[in-house]
Structure 1
Amino acid sequence: MSIGNSPEDERPFQFVSDSEEARTSVGRALKDARIAAGLTVDDVSGATRVRIAIVHAIEADDFTPCGGDVYARGHIRTLARAVRLDPAPLIEQFDADHGGRPAPTPAAPLFEAERIRPERRGPNWTAAMVAAIVAVIGFVAFTAFKGGGDGGGATDQVAQGGAPSGKSASPTPKKSKPAAEKPAPADSAIAAAPQDKVTVQVSAPNGRSWISAKDHNGRMLFDGLLKKGESKTFQDSSKINLILGDAGAIKLYVNGKKIEDDFQPGAVERLTYTKGDPEVG
């Protein structure tokens, strides 16, 4: 009987670095970014069309409800953009934690060119018949033109370059009309807003932003991403409720008047506009 360390005592010590212990998980990073943006789970679910239960599960690092790694990557990418995070590092971290992406399936080999033999085709009788018909029509037209040239003096005069009698009317140059100037956003449909309704135009000239618009009954008029250069116009009988995900990228026109604001880039703003002069609720 030998005295010494047991096999369990001889196993190598596994060192875990502080960076691995302190590394933020994918779900935690998405949750922290959402809270920093001032958004609720309902706001993110409405903006991305991802169900509330799946948003909660992903923020808890449970990707089982996603239905597979492919769908999980898509949900991570969508949620990251909604809370203004770069999705690439999160996707890389997800792949590292779940075994990486599957290897691509190799494409089937192409057939060798020398094995493909052209098919032998017979004579094209259709093309031959068309050519014969064209030749006959051309001969008939030439004969008719030659026969009518003997009694047509006016035709000979025109063919030889002589000008026919009478004054030829010179074409009158047409004056090009100047192109009508396109009206500015405040001068177009928004300027003709009816007085008995509230009309709100939201445009994104400086960048893109997620927006949500509801009428006075709480009915959703729009809920999605407004890309750079796009605009949306909403109208209701009494009130429009807005949520701007990035208010610094948005310009507002209410009842035909531009709203002079000092919204900061990345700021989330909740606004309410009614009939009459622009007035933030």
Structure 2
Amino acid sequence: MGAEFGIYLPPVALGFDAILAKALDCERLGYHSLWLYDHLYPPGLPEVPSFEAWTLATALLARTTTLRVGHLVTSNTFRHPALLAKMATSVDVLSGGRLEFGIGSGSHEEEHRRAGLGWGSSAERGERLGEALEIITGMFRGATMSFDGKHFTVRDLPNLPAPAQPGGPPVHIGGVGPKYTLPLVARYADVWNVPTYALGRIAGLSRALDAECEKAGRDPATIRRSVEAVLTIAPEERLDEAVRRARRHYGDPGYGMEEGGFTGTPRRIIDRIGELVEAGISSFVFFTHDRASAETLELFARDVAPHFSGPA
């Protein structure tokens, strides 16, 4: 009963040396991946320093050797898909095939307004994401790409060198919307990221995705399931303090801290992960309550991860 574990680290008010130290801790301790966000500034905190997502990922991959790095998620609204595919391909080659590619339709209107970037309705952003994925996945396959869409057009565009990973970096798409998201997952995703708030509905949502896969002519077993959630882990005598700290940072309902259930001693966390592995989740990406301190990373790697070291 195997699973992969990654750490989500919003690069908010952290210098590069601190971020790199956490990445190297993850690599040393055997974590599968490190994940960043893609924003022009921390949402709601425009005065707080934060690095550009792809520049930071490239720097981290250049200074690590086994750790995989990705974004949950790249905003499709920030870059033309042809440029983004070329960027991702280049990073994949330069890192020896260690890029994970997460993409979404955009999540914070205010930063778009400040930057003079187009926003649009949910339907429009969903359309743009679908067209972008057609271009990006086509370029990942190494084909000379032509596409004529409502929002994007490319003509006889090469993508050489091809990605280091055959077929390109794994494509992660998150969300559970039946109208826009699940059809895109069925058509393009290698990994479906299930929001924490939807974990209580995982069985029904999996059936809905299976139905979309049938429409797309795809075997649903080829799509791995992942979850991104808040992890509050500590020995019993320090758990209350850890929970208070987690709620200060991640108490907003959008983080799904209560729904996720990843709160407790290592034994409790093992049990919760085990439940979700049985439900088909094979990849877990955690915000830790203390922003990936070395102590917490070591506790999880020592007392939890070895219980799920079989094939994912």
Same fold at TM > 0.5: no
TM-score of the superposed pair, with normalisation by structure 1: 0.20
Q: Rg bigger for which structure? A: 1
TM-score of the superposed pair, with normalisation by structure 2: 0.18
Higher helix share: 2
